[in-house]
Structure 1
Amino acid sequence: MLNIEGLERLDQHAPVVMLNLMRFHEHALDGDGSGWDAYLRYSAITVPMIRARGGTLLWTGEAKAVALGRHAGNQWDFVALVYYPTVTAFLDMMTSEAYETNADPHRVNGCAEHVIIATSEAYSKFKMS
């Protein structure tokens, strides 16, 4: 569930990088392939939506192992870092009818769990703004 209240407490005009942690269903809930297949359908729809709002996919990769910290409950399959020029741009996408109707069903069908953490820049080798 989208934490609109928490996001509204952030500076709405500040850039944000969303850390996405995903764990996939073995089989998509709609029966159309694997959870990964459903996530790929989700990505095909959301990446253009992100770009239309001035954002970009910074990095994606497979999560391999918990290197430090609690192991139980921290097994993730995939990680993505997504830049948005403003918190408002992220909220605009996530609450749009196009997202809710066309994209989110694929995410739900594919992901057993999907956590998105809003981050603000403390240091970056790649200065975004």
Structure 2
Amino acid sequence: MTGHIDPTRAQFDAFKALDRDEPCEMLNLVRLRDIAQYPQGHEQAGSPLTGAEAYRLYGQHSGPVLARVGGAIVWRGEYRTTLAGPEGDHWDHVFVARYPTAHAFLAMVTDPDYQRAVVHRQAAVQDSRLIRCAPAATGEVFG
């Protein structure tokens, strides 16, 4: 099964076409590989690192960039089950990252330190969803 790891050009263009000045909250759903798959020529290529270990490296190296652009993980949950969705679906990481603006997110993903860190994410992730949201009022009812 081929997973969704990086955005397609069309998805990234749609992201960039939205208001870049509004706050940006990104819902992240991440499924990890059993064994990380680094590209040929990378110092970790062929290593026995698990997807979880490679994802931890991604977090260690990308975390300072996230903080530098004003971003933070504002909610994290531990996956239990999928109530509505594909059978057998599961996620190893479920969290919301908040950025002060979409400009900040774009600054992060184009930062040279982040570019070096993201190879660990690409090696670690089997499948993912990254869903851009705008903050909205909370309340006691749906809708």
Residue 67 (structure 2) pairs with residue 51 (structure 1): yes
Q: Over the residues paired in the alignment, what is the CA RMSD in angstroms?
A: 1.7
- How many residues align? The count is 123
Residue 73 of structure 1: how far off its partner (Å): 6.5
Residue 137 (structure 2) pairs with residue 123 (structure 1): yes
* Cα distance per residue 1:47-97 (max 9 Å; x no partner): 111110011111223322102x12337321211210100001101111223
Q: TM-score, normalised by structure 1?
A: 0.85
Is this contact kept in 1: 2:61–2:113, CA < 8 A?
no
Gaps of 5+ in 1: none
Residue 33 (structure 2) pairs with residue 19 (structure 1): no
Is this contact kept in 1: 2:23–2:102, CA < 8 A?
yes
Name the larger-Rg structure. 2
* Cα distance per residue 1:6-60 (max 9 Å; x no partner): 1112110110111111000011124342101100000111111111001111122
SS in structure 2 of the partner of residue 19 of structure 1: strand
Q: TM-score, normalised by structure 2?
A: 0.78
2:93 alignment partner in structure 1: 78
Q: Which amino acid is 1:108 matched to?
A: Q
2:3 alignment partner in structure 1: none
Q: Which amino acid is 2:26 matched to?
A: M
CA distance in 2, matches of 1:43, 1:61: 16
* Identical pairs, percent: 30
SS in structure 2 of the partner of residue 63 of structure 1: coil
Residue 79 (structure 2) pairs with residue 63 (structure 1): yes
